[in-house]
Amino acid sequence: MKTILITGAAGGLGICLVREYLSRGYRVFGADIGKRPDTDKLLAEADGNYLFFETDVADTSSVQKLAERVSAQTESLDILINAAGIIRPESEDILEKFDIDGSRKLFDVNALGPLRVVKACISLLRHGKEKLLINISSEAGSMTTHADYINRYDYCMSKAALNIQSIILQRYVKQEGIRVLLFNPGWMHTQMGGPNAPINPADSARGIADLSASLCGKIEDIPATGMFWNYDGTERPW
């Protein structure tokens, strides 16, 4: 049975990714800082094919414990998706009001969190067949096409950091056949995206899973092209 680990698994996009990969026949391991009401419902429905591990991606020992708990269940991971992420109301503040020191936690979760999870789980991914590492980025991390923000320093910078992290990782693991993908999931109707967002996270999850499946095993052009994607399958300029 194919296996996948998804962080942010209780969140809006994360739970849709869990549902999507369960429907595709994967055994799913979910990690999140806490459960939401739908988490237990999904665990009950999944008939043992979904396991959830409470994990703080900003805490190295918590991530190490996650890797140990997943390793107790499987010798390999086909796919790892880093979807955990945060934004804070203060991200909206313009320069003069912006609390720089208050933004450290956001970097710890959005930029360093994925690296912690990859470091702890890379040996499981090396033993997997599909060898896909997927980091959920954002249009906010794109230098050329971002939404012309004059605020959101911390969120945009954290996603740009995730992008360069992914480029470095791709160089490092390319010879082993591991493909690293970055996705802009779109402006989604989730806790983070808010009620006015136009995109259903289930559509985003399906798009991410479809494109990832089609790119699996193909690592020739990267990292110059073919790494940063929108959920609808179009390529995202850096």
Ligand X SMILES: NC(=O)c1ccc[n+]([C@@H]2O[C@H](COP(=O)([O-])OP(=O)(O)OC[C@H]3O[C@@H](n4cnc5c(N)ncnc54)[C@H](OP(=O)(O)O)[C@@H]3O)[C@@H](O)[C@H]2O)c1
Contacts of 37 (CB under 8 A, 6+ apart): none
93 vs 139, beta carbon nearer ligand X: 139
- Out of 3, 6, 8, 118, which residue is the one contacting ligand X (CB under 6 A)? 8
Shortest Cβ 69–ligand X spacing (Å): 14
Tokens standing for residue 13 = 């996009």
Q: Are strands 228-230 and 79-82 parallel, antiparallel or unpaired?
A: unpaired
**Residue 190 binding ligand X, by CB under 6 A:** yes
> Which helix (H) or strand (E) is 207 found in, with range?
helix 201-215
Please report, as residue ranges, which positions from 91 to 150 form the binding site for ligand X (by CB under 6 A): 109, 136, 138
Shortest Cβ 129–ligand X spacing (Å): 26
Contacts of 218 (CB under 8 A, 6+ apart): 179, 226
17 vs 124, beta carbon nearer ligand X: 17
Sign, Cα dihedral of 205, 163, 176, 82: negative
159 vs 219, beta carbon nearer ligand X: 159
- Out of 56, 78, 130, 154, which residue is the one contacting ligand X (CB under 6 A)? 56
Q: How large is the angle between the packed helices 37-45 and 12-23, nearest 10 degrees?
A: 10
DSSP label of 197: -
128 vs 193, beta carbon nearer ligand X: 193
Of the candidate spans 49-57, 118-126, 207-215, 220-228, the one that interacts with ligand X by CB under 6 A turns out to be: 49-57
**Residue 42 binding ligand X, by CB under 6 A:** no
Other residues' Cβ atoms within 10 Å of the Cβ of residue 208: 28
3-class DSSP state of 32: strand
Q: Which residues bind ligand X (CB under 6 A)?
A: 7-8, 10-14, 32-34, 55-58, 83-86, 109, 136, 138, 185, 187-188, 190-193, 197
